[in-house]
Structure 1
Amino acid sequence: MDEATEFAIYLLSAPDGRTFDEVLNALREVGVERLVDPSRMHRHVLGFVQLRLATSADKELRLHHWPAGVSFSEEPHTHLWDLTSYVLGGEISSTEYAVRPTSSESPHRLFVVKPAEAGTVREPTSRQVTVSVVKSESHDAGSIYFVKHGVYHTSEPSSESALTLITTSAPMSDYPLVVASPQSSRSGHAPMTPPTIHEIDEFRRALWQAIE
């Protein structure tokens, strides 16, 4: 068993999560070069670069990097599971929304996100909704924040770039939902594309800065 796998098992084995210092010390113990494996990385449809460290039947462990110089614009969406985010670098703005059905004409509609070959596919529903902000918080490096499954939220960097470590619980619903316009450019199939060499280098550099 390699050190990166041991690290992932260590983090996933905690029933109530780890403290920020425990996560940081575990990352230092393994080291950047053992963690950054390009074969497990892809560019997410939302723009950040994702590294899947481990996936089990009931949990997942990932690193997310929002590189500098890239524009990010998330749409309110839910997750299948409870999410814990450790902000390793930069600053993240996390916003939660109230999404309610409406019989009136609305520019917002619910979409279902389903797995597809080498990515996901976003399928429109007939459900029109209204959207309003419930709360918005900013989390800087050294912070931990939580998002419950089924809660509509967005997470975006409020700094030039950002790096987070994500742990998830077991899935609690069938598919995530997204609130978007029927004309959204993200409708349909969204492939998971490999990161560029520059994105991998930026990812590695951000991780070095976070744990040095």
Structure 2
Amino acid sequence: MSYHGVRQLLREGQARAWALEVLAGPVTAVRHPLGFVCLPLERNGGEGVCLHLWSDSLVHAESTTSQIHCHSWDLVSHVLYGQMRNVHAVVTDADQDATHRVFEVVSGADGDRISPTGRTVRHATGQVEVFGPGDTYTLPSGRFHSSVVPEGGEAATIALGRGRPGSRDLSLGPLGTGPHHVSRQPLDAAETALAVRLITAHLT
């Protein structure tokens, strides 16, 4: 279903029913470097629809930079179950007292190309928003943040993205890290089936 179709379902309170319907069909899943499992469902031009799952029952991919990032697209996120904390980061340009470097992340079919930029920064924790089942929140492109699930917690969201021309995907990382490539790790059939069972069990 299209980005606009899913947004309308969210407005109508049909998110859980739609997710169960989608999960009854064939799906694929990959480990995302930000620590969740992504089930991509729709990609059309600059718009996309995914399910995101956080669970200690599945192996996590490890980030080579950090959890603090910003998107090149506007995010609409709907919490299906669990608790999601949207932790805003206040990022300040810095030179000698910098703690992190800004990296550009360019995603392709073969994974993510991560390149250091000349921008160095410090950061502090800003507003912390807490969302629970049934909540929908938005985040404009270009806002540094991290998505945090309480330790040991389980959560799943519907994530909708709409690209914003001229914006870039960025991440904060160690000052000395060089350019590198990160492959997205697909889940095998057994792990994918487990991911589907985990979400389905929470929604039924």
TM bucket (normalised to shorter chain) is 0.7 to 0.9
Aligned to 1:85: 77
The residue that corresponds to 1:3 in the other structure is none
C-alpha distance in 2 between matches for 1:200 and 1:123: 30
Tell me which of 107, 112, 116 is aligned to 1:124: 116
In the alignment, what sits opposite 2:154? Answer: 161
1:112 corresponds to which of 91, 97, 104: 104
Cα 1:168–1:117 change in 2 (3 A) is closer
Q: What TM-score comes out, normalization by structure 1 length?
A: 0.81
One-letter amino acid matched to 1:175: R
Q: Number of residue pairs matched?
A: 199
Using the TM superposition, give the Cα deviation of residue 51 of structure 1 relative to its aligned residue in structure 2, in angstroms.
0.9
Runs of 4+ displaced beyond 6 Å: 14-17
Per residue, is there more helix in 1 or in 2? 1
Structure 2: runs of 5 or more not aligned:
none
- Structure 1 residues 92 and 204: alpha-carbon distance in aligned structure 2, compared to 1, 3 A threshold: same
TM-score of the superposed pair, with normalisation by structure 2: 0.84
Aligned residue runs from structure 1 range 31-180, under 5 A? 32-34=23-25, 36-38=26-28, 41-69=29-57, 74-116=66-108, 118-158=110-150, 159-180=152-173
Answer yes or no: is the 8 Å Cα contact 1:20–1:86 preserved in 2.
Answer: no
Equivalent AA in structure 2 for residue 150 of structure 1: G
The 1-side partners of 2:7 and 2:133 are apart by 23
- Which one is further off, 126-135 or 174-183? 174-183
Matching residue's letter, 2:90: A
In structure 2, what residue type is equivalent to 1:205?
R
Q: Deviations over 1:100-133 (max 9, x none)?
A: 2113331211111113451001111121111011
Distance, in Å, in 2 between the alignment partners of 1:17 and 1:183 is 45
Q: How many Å separate the matches in 2 of 1:182 and 1:131?
A: 13
Q: CA deviation at 1:171?
A: 2.9
Q: Distance in 1 between matches of 2:17 and 2:69?
A: 32
